[in-house]
Amino acid sequence: MSVHGGESAEGVEVTRGFSPAHSGSFPLPFWQALLLAAATALLLTLSFPHVRLHSLAWLALIPFLLACRGQGVLRGTVLGLVLGIGFQAALLSWALFFGPLALVGLVLFKSVAPALLGAVLGLRRPGGAVGDAFFAASAWVAMEFLQTLGPLGITWGMLGQTQARVPVLIQVGALVGPWGLSFVLALTNAAVAGWVVRWRASGLREGTRRAGPALAWAAGICALALLFGAWRLAHPPVASGPPLTWGVVQVSMPQDVKWDPAFQAETMERLEALTRQAAAQGAQVVVWPETSIPYRGFLQMPGLVTRVSRLARDLGVWLLVGSIESAGHQATLNTASLFSPQGRLAGRHDKHRLVPFGEFLPWKRYLPPLPQLDLVMNYLPGPRPHPLDLGGTPVGVLICYESMVSHLPADLVGQGARFLVVPTNDAWFGETSAAAHHFDMAILRAVETGRPTIQAGNTGISGFVSATGEVLSETRLMERGVRVALLAPVSEETLYTRVGDLLAWACAGWVLLAGLASLSPRSGEGQPA
């Protein structure tokens, strides 16, 4: 399929003002393009914690970028779907816990943006090496940004997440959020892909000369990111007050027994014993996992509330506990309640950002009454999150999935939060690497906001992350026990918490304008690459 108005008998596009031999504007045979799109899906999957070959992310997009070049809108869309479905089906396999329809729904929803990306890249008329590389990187970031918008936004599987365990690289998040590292990675991929195209079209020497400027830009931006990362690691955010000793409790109750009435008493006893253990190690604040209380409607059960408040008072600790609370009409809220060392209920956070197809079912009223849909829970979103007051220290609480949405912690920091706390129940993931993927997001949120971050998981991973993304301590999956760490509050704001998703909006705007310009009859005119 040609977007240039003509195609030769050999399948080489004829573009007014361009020489195919110079620009490399020829598309690959479609069957080869499909294989390349599938190759990128595989390489991306291997880059994430499932295997954690994070270095592959620097090359993983090259096959897809080569596949889309010159394919046109329709074939580009198909290539994007191949990438999206292949990659997301592997990365979101944990959603099978909610039933096959949940997995299918999530995968298809997450594949819409890659399909649009394929269409945009297929429509793009090849031009100069630098312009092509920056356009491809911007298109990738715009695609990731699109996936986060609205109540169905899902951030699972963003390119920059592959580098979460590379401290010097992830510091760029403090400047422009999660989009910066994705841009650097995508730009590097695009510059190398452009070199491959020009090498194929013009030979090694001439192709390298023509692709050289794009490679130089990519190398230069990578170098700047590394220099900033090294500087920030050497100059971490300064403490704004006396440190607090935090404790996290990991009870490791499998999901299939967590709500079994036969285990409720044991769960409470285990939570209390571990809390006493954390307090004995000096913890001033103890965090329980998401929905850790094994009784629904905890806050409406005076005897159970008294039991928890007495525990906080007897130990003299702040205690943050998770529960499921009634919202009326058979709906529920996912709640974190804060008890003071005096045993008073000092604050409450109701989960604001819910998991689509897991905690709520989009478009439920339009779907048939299938038994499989009953696996999807009926949660309601809470109000806009606000920091909880920990005796004069504002603390931002992000329940599970909320830590995957970068603008939520940035908003909490803008409201004054000095710490970020993530109660979670990753037992849904079983013993897969998805829990490690989730913990990686806590690392990125710490860097982006410049806030020490505490995560407490039912079955793991629980731990502590410094304001520069250093993992101070973390548990193993299914380990039962506590972790304790001394962390200082931080009030200094990062550039990202001030400017927000400016880079993502800029990328999306440029891609949109460039896409509209490509529809112009004269947009193909220009200089050879």
User: Which residues belong to the active site?
Assistant: 290, 351, 400
| Amino acid at the residue 481 | G
Q: How far apart are CA 96 and CA 106, in angstroms?
A: 10
Q: Which two tokens stand for residue 380?
A: 């309601």
Token digits of residue 173: 């998040």
Taking CA atoms, 203 is separated from 6, 26, 28, 129, 206, in Å, by: 25, 15, 17, 15, 6
Helix (H) or strand (E) segment spanning residue 514: helix 502-518
What's the CA gap between 406 and 396, in Å, rounded?
A: 13
CA distance 444 to 408: 13
* The pair of three-digit structure tokens given for residue 483, joined into one six-digit string: 């972790």
Helical residues (DSSP H) of 402-433, grouped into ranges: 407-414
What is the phi/psi pair of residue 5, to 5°?
A: 90, 0
Q: Which residue has the tokens 């977007």?
A: 3
Query: What is the rounded distance in angstroms from the CA atom of residue 348 to the CA atom of residue 260?
Result: 26
Please report which residue ranges of 69-203 form alpha helices under DSSP H: 72-91, 100-123, 129-148, 167-170, 173-176, 178-202
State the Cα torsion 10-16-17-20 to the nearest 10°: -10
Question: 215-243 burial string, b = 16+ CB within 10 Å, else e?
Answer: bebbeebbeebeebbeebeeebbebeeee
